[in-house]
A and B are shown apart, each in its own frame.
Chain A
Amino acid sequence: MSSASNVTSESPGTPTAVGQAVEPAAGASGSGPKPGRGSSDAGLRAQGVAPKRRVEVRGKVLTGACVAVVAALVVALIVMICGQGVQTFTKDGVPFSKFLFGTAWNPTRTDADGVPYVGALPMIAGSFSVTLLSCLFALPFALGSSIFVVEVAPRFGTRIFRPVTEVLVGIPSVVFGMIGLYVIVPLIRSIVGGTGYGIMSASIVLAVMILPTVTSLSIDAIASVPESYREGSLGLGCTRWQTIVHVVLPSALPGILTAIVLGMTRAFGEALAVQMVIGSGGASVMPTSLFKAATTLTSVITMNIGNQAQGTLYYDALWSLAMVLLVMSLLFILIVRLIGRKGSVKND
């Protein structure tokens, strides 16, 4: 402290001393303090700056290493899943179109042309049905409640509703599956008859499961609409409702779409809860009714992956299903990104 103030007070008179003081500090760090005021300042710098620089470097290396690990993991995952997934088409010689559009799933058998039955269309259709339906069910409630808590009762929103939805986000899917199994399935059974298992039950369970996520993100989207938009509309004599419908929601649309797509991603990838309530429909039955047992990509994988020996066609085909799941979720994320970019351009 005192040496620093000495230097500053002296520096106008002795510019060379300061110049010398700086140079050794940069070159010979750690050479120890030298006698004299200027050089004692150099020692101070040498001890003060160099360790800091070392910490800087260490920090960069550490965080950089973390990035490398994460990036390597992502790449490895994608490479592995795709590498395994394409084996069905390369090693086993199944035409891609037969996989994507075929409706018969029985990889241990082959058809008249000698091509194994690996048609994944029923599962793909099942996955998309439950995903779209669950979003359709969840969306009105998510939108309605987020409008309510942002526009009508903000205090209730921040104090009670937000925390509650955040708790719900963390509930494990098996819990939703159990509720579905013991509440939704019997309910559907008593209303429409049949077993109660099926796409409808799965969609309802998924809708409940993704509801907190979609709601929470929709609240963010609506709350981020600038207050000045609302004021502008109210100041023109529009009602609160008109303001919400014609100003707030259109401005929040990119965020709301993002919420929906993220909800879809979660619904699409969910295995456990779906499997508990969708029933055990044959994997080669195209879903024709919302109330009949069906299958999804995830449920076929989870049910069969443990029973197949590595390297068999069946094993490869399951990896191909996983690849479809991966590609779809990448696609969903891409959509979210695109919406986000468009939205940010529009809101400026």
Chain B
Amino acid sequence: MTTIEPETSGASATAAAAPGAAPADAPRTTPAERPSDGEHLLSTRDVSVLYGDNRALKPTTLDFDAGTVTALIGPSGCGKSTFLRCINMMNREIPHCRVEGHIWYGGVDVNAPDTDLYEVRRRIGMVFQQPNPFNKSIYDNIAFAPRRHGVKGRKQLDQLVEESLRGAALWDEVKDDLHKSGRALSGGQQQRLCIARTLALHPDVILMDEPCSALDPIATLAIEQTVRDIVATGICVIIVTHNMEQAARVSDRTAFFYLGEMVETGPTAHLMKMPKDQRLSDYLTGRFS
């Protein structure tokens, strides 16, 4: 395994389980299954992915903490999205896709066959590359998932909608036409609506797969600011980007992927200034994109 972890390599998946070490902000868990590295909100251990017989992602070990942004960078087709989609098990929706390894979150292995997929996705939200608000009003876009998860009261929903829109810095722009279609918004607003939609479920983690790739520079900056705001509330954001400046602006830590392999990870500033791996320094100097 080529994983290089200058900062967070202290914990090992093979270490004995230490029940009861769950951090305060971790959701209700079954502590018996909890691995040793209780200090991380989310840890992947040797996660690898096969599409049919094609191994798109080699075993990847990474840790993610509450209140931080981790950027996943690398040329396109190197497995960033594939890795991201493991974390909330979106890969389970692809019939020929197989995920191996462990994803420890809240004391359970997300990748275990008996994990409650829906509960995992409720707590690990996802924002996609193309803004994909539903063909519904702004209000219903946000109230959609809470309703499905049993939130009924009108007052409660109203409050949730406002709070989520505020969280995504969209409230002031749309508060007067909450019943307009979500698809009538601009691209950047749609993407922030999608962020608000995940915030409504009070997630611990939000996965973002190149959320700005379809947006103009101003909308991009707005999203980045939103990301920082969200993280300040203690949420963990994992963001895929092919834009180095974006990674530098928005992330605390960075992981570099290349040809299906997680090559190097570390604090963003450190990683960008002093890359250890030749492939990363080539990438940073733009020798390939």
Tell me the A residues contacting B by CB distance below 8 Å. Answer: 226, 228-229, 231-239, 242, 246-247, 250-251, 346-348
Contact = CB atoms under 8 A, between A and B. Distances in A.
Interface residues of B, number: 29
A72 B132 CA distance: 46
B180 interface: no
Interface in B67-96: 88, 90, 93
Contacts of A246: 144, 148
24 contacts: A228-B130, A228-B132, A229-B134, A231-B90, A231-B93, A232-B128, A232-B133, A233-B144, A235-B121, A235-B198, A236-B121, A236-B148, A236-B201, A237-B119, A237-B122, A237-B148, A239-B118, A239-B148, A246-B144, A247-B144, A250-B136, A251-B135, A346-B135, A347-B135
Contacts of A250: 135-136
Nearest to B116: A237
A237 B120 CA distance: 7
A83 to B, nearest CB: 45
B204 to A, nearest CB: 13
Closest A-B pairs by Cβ, 5 of them: A237-B122, A237-B121, A228-B132, A236-B145, A235-B126
Contacts, number: 69
B188 interface: no
Nearest to A225: B135
A236 B183 contact: no
B93 A236 contact: no
Nearest to A251: B135
A236 B130 contact: no
A237 B149 contact: yes
Contacts of A242: 148
Contacts of B183: 348
Contacts of A348: 183
A173 to B, nearest CB: 37
B167 interface: no
A235 B135 contact: no
Contacts of B123: 237
Contact of B134 (A233, A237, A239): A233
B125 interface: yes
A252 to B, nearest CB: 10
B122 A234 contact: no
Contacts of A229: 132, 134-135
Contact of B125 (A235, A238, A251): A235
B132 A231 contact: yes
A272 B121 CA distance: 55
Given A237-B122, A239-B118, A231 B128 contact: yes
B58 interface: no
Nearest to B140: A246
A237 B201 contact: yes
Contacts of A232: 128, 132-134, 194, 197
A302 B198 CA distance: 61
A234 B93 contact: yes
Nearest to B127: A235
A228 B119 contact: no
B128 A228 contact: yes
Among the interface residues B126, B133, B135, B201, which one has the most CB atoms of the partner chain A within 10 A? B135
A21 to B, nearest CB: 47
A230 to B, nearest CB: 8
Contacts of A231: 90, 93, 128, 132
Interface string B185-204: 00000000010011001000
Interface string B154-186: 000000000000000000000000000101000
A236 to B, nearest CB: 4
Nearest to B183: A348
Given A250-B135, A346-B135, A236 B128 contact: no
Given A235-B90, A237-B122, A237-B123, 13 more contacts: A228-B128, A231-B128, A232-B128, A233-B145, A234-B93, A235-B121, A236-B121, A236-B122, A237-B117, A237-B121, A237-B149, A238-B145, A242-B148
A235 B133 CA distance: 12
Contact of B88 (A226, A233, A235, A346): A235
Nearest to B123: A237
Contacts of A233: 134, 144-145
Contacts of B135: 229, 250-251, 346-347
Contacts of B120: 237
Name, among B133, B144, B194, the residue most crowded by chain A CB atoms within 10 Å (CB to CB): B144
Nearest to A234: B93
A242 B122 CA distance: 14
A236 B90 contact: no
A119 B145 CA distance: 55
Contacts of B181: 346
B145 A237 contact: yes
Contacts of B149: 237
Nearest to B132: A228
